Amino acid sequence: MSSPVFLSSAFSTANGHLPLLSPRPATCPCPGFASKPTLAPTATFFYRESVHPRFRCCCCCSSSSSSSSSSMPLELSTSASDQDDDLGDSLLYSRAYWVSESIIAWNVDVPDGSCYLYASRTAALSISYDGIQGADVEIELQEDRGGLPANVIEKFPHIRDYKAFKVPASSDAKLLLKCQLAVATYNSDRKCSDATGLQLPGILDELFSYDGPLGALYAEETVSLYLWAPTAQSVSACIYRDPLGGNPLEVVQLKENDGVWSIKGPKSWEGCYYVYEVSVYHPSTLQIEKCYANDPYARGLSSDGRRTLLVNLDSDTLKPEGWDKLVYEKPDILSFSDISIYELHVRDFSVSDHTVHPDFRGGYLAFTLQNSAGVSHLKKLSNAGLTHVHLLPTFQFAGVDDRKENWKSVDAEVLEKLPPDSTEQQAQITAIQNDDGYNWGYNPVLWGVPKGSYASNPNGSCRTIEFRRMVQALNHIGLRVVLDVVYNHLQGSGPFDDNSVLDKVVPGYYLRRNSDGFIEHSTCMNNTASEHYMVERLIIDDLLCWAVNYKVDGFRFDLMGHIMKSTMMKAKHALHSLTKEIHGVDGSSIYIYGEGWDFGEVAKNGRGVNASQFNLSGTGIGSFNDRIRDAMLGGSPFGPPLQQGFVTGLLLQPNGHDHGTKVVEEQMLAAAKDHIQVGLAANLRDFQLTNSEGNKVKGSEVKTYDGTPVAYALCPTETISYVSAHDNETLFDVVSLKTAMRISVDERCRINHLATSIIALGQGIPFFHCGDEILRSKSLDRDSYNSGDWFNRIDFSYNSNNWGVGLPPKEKNEKNWPLIRPRLADPSFKPQKSHILAALENFSDVLRIRYSSPLFRLRTANAIQERIYFHNTGPSAVPGVIVMSIEDGHEGVPGLSPLDSNFSYIVVIFNSSPTEVSFVGPALQGKNLQLHPIQVKSVDEIVKNSSFEANSGCFAIPPRTTSVFVEPRAT
């Protein structure tokens, strides 16, 4: 054998493109695992406690090894040896990596043998006892004993120990990449010892990284299309006049230039729809497939999501009146430390609001109404100081048909008459849950298109216009808008899945694969690979599109830990580089944050330095602090449901759960208090405090149950503090589950408020789930992502909090039904309207208190260390009581510049005990502390009983109460 050897003289056709084969049916029936071949071993998943509870495995696909040859493009000779049987399915795997033009990495040994690269333009490779057959090209590879170079190991750390095989410089890599590829090793007697397909992202990044135009570009007389598809053999665009049905107006062939396919069309294309036809080798089927795909850079879609709309976002006809001036009308935000966030689902906001016109309910336009119950509620929160509304996914996602006429529904009047602990409600909801109008939306199809089901008309440009009107309306009532972006995974994969886009255009590139070549599903969908150049570029381009074209004010990254830190830093830089003058956007005011969980294949920097909690220190990018949530509520969302925490009665009001001995409970409560105190100090790594044992420690030296440091942030805006979010039970529900059954609903409402006040009055950025402030219930549903409007209802008339609307859906809740049923059946658990109204007023009060003083929103770690101090610490501390003081340069403290013109000192006391407590603070004796003026006027009569005696330094705090004392600045 020599290198290289061309085994066929007909390597290319007359037009320079490789010949095509007809598509064949997918081998795997499960869309969630469509890229996994039928002989793939069953996947196994492991989740640490911090994993997002939404993600789950719908199934694992595996087939019998007796699959027919019709579904396996492998041909084994009838005289094959036992070794051939072992090699028979080798090409189903991609265990070798073409990492650069000159290097293939493979974890094999060939001390006395040889290694070859094979390519077939028609995907005709097969294995016999003599090795790989059906190749058009055969190239001998030589092992490089020096191993993989440092730049390759940095990009692909998970293959650092692989062998390096040199590809001859004479090889035409760009042409080979359009073929089916395989490598094989041979032993000294010329028998094939191993074979596999190849993973190509490394060489694709080296040869085809591209920064030019992509998507549709509009000029005065032309519309141009650009598609990055370096492995494609041919690309055509089918142009349609209408969104649905009919034959294309024309089918045009795109021309390739260095991996980018493009065509310049007439201006008349604008307003039309198109679909790409991409002929490409697909590793999931081992065939050349003809894939029909939307444009990855789509900015509009047809109502069925099958065609891309040619929509010019710069057109004046798509801009609401005053749109270009919005940048100058946005609510002020002087510092990211001033941010507070309210998480909201677009459909939840208005679908049950009868003050909204039926045509607007559940959609973008509901936010544009001035006097609806929901908008009035948002105005009230904005007036209290709330700054940002975080919208759950609003891009094009799967799970909800954009065509409302196809939705199914249940009869709410029938469900209303059923018992509060009945199984019937959930049975009716789950029977139609995949055909109704509800889903959270964490199953992306196209990142850059507004979701059609929220628009009044999913065809045409309504999505764009109405989304812009929503953003504009929210800004005008004083609220900035955060989008929930989901770049860590995609719903579809493979050549035939209707929800697959990127994996049709450049198969095997956009989705992260494991060492066998199968798509990673640690997020329980098709994980994306931001470590690949064009994936990172697509993410950043998409963020810029939303920021510039929709003027959004922030981004929350779902499972951010699955994205590389470098990608997040580039995204932050790109966004902050936007200017009012050039882009119509003040990029410096755009805040980004996300879920920094560290698990799956990316854990411990397994695919490069990822955007996990500890890696983000010093970046200014926020991440959710799950420690303060778990310490407040007890355990974690994945532990025993009755495990109690600081606010839910641990030690002080037991619920019957076996936490251990009293000594153990005392230790647990003390540890929870330490965690919360660190959280109140913005979870700063270097913040010093006295812990429950009386030792002076840093935040990073306070440890969780598994020895992980509690604190990781270097500046306050890197911490998002929360006690509830869309995932898991609502705050009121988890309080109702974990507290002792004998306590009253009044007490549960106080606990709900205590929890939100801890979040509201701590340093860092507070985050609230919509409904925390009005006792929102989902009838104890722990995962309502697909539980329909019934379990997700929110009532801005304040007549009901949605408690007791039936046992929650069986899939995620059945094992807890024995705990849930007696609570739902007990009418004393259900709050009345008076409770809901009081909760709202109390929540508004703590927001107003937060914004009454800059001392609650300190901007630097040094300021927090200098000014924040925790009393009532050490072994002799009063259990269940946190006492936090904030200093502002009162007399006797040199060098501390005053920040607050009204107050020179603030003391906040959180009493989680079911009884009144007294606390003597020697360091606070003689201070002129008074109950905060807002609490003096509060509708909560209990908080008004809080008192302080200056002579003794003694505070008296009512049960389950947050009391704020201030020292007025001397005039």
For the beta carbon of residue 134, count every other beta carbon within 10 angstroms: 19
Helices (H), 209-331: none
List the 903-911 sheet strands across, edge first.
868-871, 881-887, 903-911, 961-968, 930-931
**Three-state DSSP class for 848?**
helix
- Rg of the chain over all Cα atoms, to the nearest angstrom: 30
Q: Indicate the burial class of 937 (C-beta count within 10 angstroms; 0-12, 13-18, 19 or more).
A: exposed
Asked whether 98 and 181 are in contact (CB, 8 A), the reply is: yes
- For residue 787, the Cα-to-chain-centroid distance in whole angstroms is 19
Q: What does the alpha-carbon distance between residue 732 and residue 753 come to, in Å, rounded to a whole number?
A: 9
β-pairing verdict for 591-594 and 622-625: parallel
- For residue 260, the Cα-to-chain-centroid distance in whole angstroms is 30
- For residue 273, the Cα-to-chain-centroid distance in whole angstroms is 30
Looking at residue 619, what DSSP letter applies?
A: S
Closest CA to 263 of 221, 312, 227: 227
Q: Indicate the burial class of 600 (C-beta count within 10 angstroms; 0-12, 13-18, 19 or more).
A: buried
For the beta carbon of residue 799, count every other beta carbon within 10 angstroms: 9
Q: What does the alpha-carbon distance between residue 502 and residue 971 come to, in Å, rounded to a whole number?
A: 65
Q: What does the alpha-carbon distance between residue 960 and residue 929 come to, in Å, rounded to a whole number?
A: 21
Three-state helix/strand/coil letters over 670-691: HHHHHHHHHHHECCECCCEEEC
Distance separating the N- and C-terminal Cα atoms of the chain: 94
**Partners of residue 280 on adjacent β-strands:** 232, 289
In Å, how far are 58, 564, 818, 822, 969 from 825, measured between CA atoms?
A: 32, 47, 11, 5, 52
Looking at residue 585, what DSSP letter applies?
A: S
- For residue 889, the Cα-to-chain-centroid distance in whole angstroms is 41
Q: Indicate the burial class of 891 (C-beta count within 10 angstroms; 0-12, 13-18, 19 or more).
A: exposed
Looking at residue 703, what DSSP letter applies?
A: B
Residues contacting residue 189 through CB under 8 Å, at least 6 positions apart: none
**Three-state DSSP class for 184?**
strand
570: tokens are 């580039």
The values of phi and psi at residue 751, to 5°, are: -65, -40
Closest CA to 623 of 650, 666, 589, 594: 594
The values of phi and psi at residue 604, to 5°, are: 55, 40
Q: What does the alpha-carbon distance between residue 590 and residue 288 come to, in Å, rounded to a whole number?
A: 44
Q: What does the alpha-carbon distance between residue 60 and residue 83 come to, in Å, rounded to a whole number?
A: 28
617: tokens are 């220190």
Given 553, 595, 598, 601, which residue is catalytic? 595
- The yes-or-no answer on residue 338 being catalytic is no
Asked whether 399 and 788 are in contact (CB, 8 A), the reply is: no
Angle, helix 745-760 to helix 731-738, in steps of 10 degrees? 130
Q: What does the alpha-carbon distance between residue 885 and residue 208 come to, in Å, rounded to a whole number?
A: 57
**Partners of residue 716 on adjacent β-strands:** none
Closest CA to 233 of 22, 21, 18, 11: 18
Given 194, 558, 598, 747, which residue is catalytic? 558
- The yes-or-no answer on residue 558 being catalytic is yes
Residues contacting residue 852 through CB under 8 Å, at least 6 positions apart: 902, 932, 934
Which residues are catalytically annotated? 558, 595
